[in-house]
Amino acid sequence: MSAQVLPKYAFFGGRIVPYSEAKVGILTHALNYGTAVFGGLRAYWNDDENQLFIFRPVDHFTRFLQSARLLCMELPFTPEDFTKNLTDLIRMEGHREDCYIRPLAFFDDEIIGVRLHNVHPQVSMVAIPFGRYGTNEENGMHVTVSSWRRVDDNIIPARGKIAGAYVNSAFAKTDANRAGFDEVIVLNQDGHVSEGSAANIFLYRNGEWATPPITDNVLEGITRRTIIQLMRDELNWKIVERTIDRTEVYLADEMFFSGTGVQISAITRVDFRNVGSGQVGEGTIALRKLFDGIVHGRSAKYRHWCHPVFEKTPDAALTKPAAVSVK
């Protein structure tokens, strides 16, 4: 992971403020009880066009609002509102490199008491320069199957990015890292493959690609959705959403994690067993190349997924956006 760089600004309290002013108290409900939801987006720098493209922001913010609904949060923003405010925020920051964006909605009341009603939601958003998420993403990860099980839909809904649920991911990831593995595969309560600590999973076996269905307690990933579409429409590969047994990962020919953070990260070993030849597979390489071109705005067909941050003449002096949100 890239060295952490603190942002200069944050969208907080309905406006863009210096990051140092975006503060909460230690009694904040979300800090004490995990009552928050978050999102993760990337923006990709295209050097040829001197432009920064946010990848699928409306889709990401639609899911963000759906996550908020799961926590009974009523947020006064549309996906388009969020996209505009994010664009303004990045312009204020002046980033001209790949970035990671973190929107957060949280209950900010400073009270004692577990509940989702009669509490007030707050929204924040930051954008920071960001490279790779984990280790060995390019050349292949060595992962293990976790002893921790994935949270169930009737415990904490996995289809929402609910902050408190990620303690489950932290248990799995830390144990794996301390044991010398790069990442982890987490099973659901039925013993079937669910996902990584914070990523969806795909495998290639018996001539077809497969990924766990959303009913197996996986996050409804935007990158996951993108990859399924590209496999079917651009590469003409067979891709099925189906339940995957644990032992299938030991017999797969190719595997990779997908997500905004990890992007497309190859898995080449699982529990000291090689995946296929033990090298990054040809399919993963081809998909990664296709995906990279699309997210950087180089594909006319999928250009609508890429939201430009800067004006058409970004070298000209930019007018800083107003501090007040559209809402």
Q: Please indicate, yes or no, whether residues 124 and 153 belong to a single structural domain of this protein.
A: no
Q: Which residues of 75-113 are buried (b: 16+ CB within 10 A; e: fewer)?
A: bebebeebbbbbbbbbbbbebbebbbbbbbbbbbbeeee
Q: Please indicate, yes or no, whether residues 74 and 160 belong to a single structural domain of this protein.
A: no
Catalytic residue among 84, 161, 173, 327: 161
Asked if 134 contacts 265 with a C-beta cutoff of 8 angstroms, the reply is: yes
Q: What is the DSSP string of 147-186?
A: EEEPPPTTTS-TTS-BGGGHHHHHHHHHHHHHTT-SEEEE
Q: Please indicate, yes or no, whether residues 71 and 152 belong to a single structural domain of this protein.
A: no
Per-residue pLDDT of the chain (327 residues; tens, 9 = 90+): 445 789 999 999 999 999 999 999 999 999 999 999 999 999 999 999 999 999 999 999 999 999 999 999 999 999 999 999 999 999 999 999 999 999 999 999 999 999 999 999 999 999 999 877 666 567 899 999 999 999 999 999 999 999 999 999 999 999 999 999 999 999 999 999 999 999 999 999 999 999 999 999 999 999 999 999 999 999 999 999 999 999 999 999 999 999 999 999 999 999 999 999 999 999 999 999 999 999 999 999 999 999 999 987 544 444 444 443 333
Domain that holds residue 113: 9-131
**CATH assignment at residue 248:** 3.20.10.10
| Annotated catalytic residue 161 | yes
Domain assignment present for 230:
yes
- Whole-structure pTM value: 0.91
Q: Please indicate, yes or no, whether residues 152 and 232 belong to a single structural domain of this protein.
A: yes
Asked if 293 contacts 52 with a C-beta cutoff of 8 angstroms, the reply is: no
Which of 106, 131, 156 corresponds to the end of one domain?
131
